[in-house]
């Protein structure tokens, strides 16, 4: 929100609550999705090692036109298969201990209740086409995107003659023609995209929580709209204290997506590389920078990791002041806005030139045993 680095201080003394926008399950997980989930898993692990109780919640968007389009007739079977595939990929990538991996369709009644409350409070209005959120009632709409309402009006979404304002967005859409519609006081249809996440997050994490994450393209309109809804519902600000975004994994500079046919699926990459190699590769760039996917770079990182494991094989552990100092250097890199490239450079120096850091391989190995539990990457075979 402030577009600056800040010292992390949780809302609740010893607990950190994190919500990450999860997949729309019209397809399998690609390596771009994996990067986001791996990063937030590392964040969870590091906070856990720092003494916090961490709740990491990821939602699953299973209500979307793209899903119905891809599924054809048997929508529920299609969704179940994709959700199971995501869970398997998560497990294979060592993304563990989620507080929840929640299908939004199970929160329909909560969405309806929240929409009703927004109407009663004067923040939303029903039409024969949809229930819209009235953005004119929100003073700082667009603040997260660092754009004014006038600037946002140059790129309006959900065009409709029924809206009061260009930036108003649908909380509920009447869709009589769809096969898997839900009943509501405003007619049969689907909840809007933004209210789906708000319903899940508030239900499980409360009206305010510490971190909301995802990829950069979710800032507008998705997260901007989430803030407006949630703060209107609770009357509490801020809805989220820290907004944390991962960069894209691109192919020749273009964002990876099914519609462009340039997806590299996790299940296929896992056929050739183990989770350690994939995680090591994805962490080789700062989390908020784009990575242009390159199989040769992945192969190189995999070989580098194997060389580290080979070099440490048979080396005894040595816990002392120097190993502790080296581990503290690793933590300093993480404390620097998760500077994982710096961390990896430290590891490579410790393995290849231990004298440069005034440590032995035994001392480096001890520090890396502790580091493995944070990065989810095994450096010791």
β-bridge pairing 130-133 and 124-126: antiparallel
How is residue 295 annotated by DSSP?
A: H
Question: DSSP labels for 154-191?
Answer: TS--S--TT-SSTT-EEEEEE-TT-SS-B--TT-SEEE
Q: Residue 120 phi/psi, 5° resolution? A: -60, -30
Positions of CATH 1.20.120 in the chain: 295-381
Positions of CATH 3.40.50.620 in the chain: 15-250
CATH topology of domain 295-381: 1.20.120
The DSSP bridge partners found for residue 191 are 172
pTM, to two decimals: 0.95
Q: 39, 246 in Cβ contact below 8 A?
A: yes
pLDDT band for position 281 (cuts 50, 70, 90): very high
Query: Does position 248 have pLDDT exceeding 80, yes or no?
Result: yes
d(CA 4, CA 268): 37
| C-alpha gyration radius of the chain | 23
pLDDT tens, position by position, 163-204: 999 999 999 999 876 668 999 999 999 999 999 999 999 999
Q: Which CATH class is domain 15-250?
A: alpha beta
pLDDT tens, position by position, 23-48: 999 999 999 999 999 999 999 999 99
pLDDT tens, position by position, 308-355: 999 999 899 888 999 999 999 999 999 999 999 999 999 999 999 999
């Amino acid at each position: 929100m402030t577009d600056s680095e800040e010292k992390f201080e949780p809302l609740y003394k010893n607990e950190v609550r994190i919500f990450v926008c999860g997949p729309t399950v019209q397809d399998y997980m690609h390596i771009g999705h994996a990067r986001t989930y791996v990063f937030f898993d590392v964040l969870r692990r590091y906070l856990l090692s720092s003494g916090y109780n961490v709740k990491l919640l990821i939602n699953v968007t299973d209500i979307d036109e793209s899903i119905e389009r891809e599924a054809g007739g048997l929508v529920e079977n299609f969704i179940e298969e994709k959700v199971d595939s995501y869970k398997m990929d998560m497990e294979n990538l060592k993304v563990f201990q989620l507080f929840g991996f929640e299908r939004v369709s199970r929160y329909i009644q909560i969405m309806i209740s929240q929409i009703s409350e927004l109407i009663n409070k004067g923040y939303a209005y029903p039409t024969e086409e949809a229930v819209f959120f009235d953005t004119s009632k929100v003073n700082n709409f667009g603040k997260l995107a660092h754009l004014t309402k006038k600037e946002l009006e140059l790129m309006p979404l959900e065009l409709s003659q029924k809206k009061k304002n260009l930036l108003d967005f649908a909380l509920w859409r009447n869709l009589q023609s769809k096969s898997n519609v839900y009943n509501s006081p405003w007619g049969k249809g689907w909840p809007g995209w933004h209210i789906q996440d708000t319903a899940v997050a508030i239900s499980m994490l409360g009206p305010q929580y510490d971190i909301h994450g995802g990829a950069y393209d979710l800032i507008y309109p998705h997260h901007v709209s989430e803030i407006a809804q949630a703060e209107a519902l609770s009357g509490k600000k801020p809805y989220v204290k820290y907004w944390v975004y991962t960069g894209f994994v691109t192919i020749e500079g273009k964002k990876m997506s099914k519609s462009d046919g340039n997806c590299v699926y996790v299940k296929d990459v896992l056929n050739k590389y183990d989770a350690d190699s994939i995680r090591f590769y994805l962490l080789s760039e700062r989390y908020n920078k784009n990575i242009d996917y390159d199989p040769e770079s992945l192969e190189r990182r995999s070989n580098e990791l194997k060389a580290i494991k080979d070099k440490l094989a048979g080396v005894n552990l040595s816990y002392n002041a120097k190993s502790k100092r080296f581990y503290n250097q690793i933590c300093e890199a993480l404390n620097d806005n998760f500077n994982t490239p710096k961390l990896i450079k430290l590891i490579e120096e410790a393995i290849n030139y231990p004298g440069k850091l005034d440590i032995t391989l035994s001392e480096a190995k001890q520090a890396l045993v502790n580091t493995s539990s944070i990065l989810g990457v095994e450096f010791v075979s």
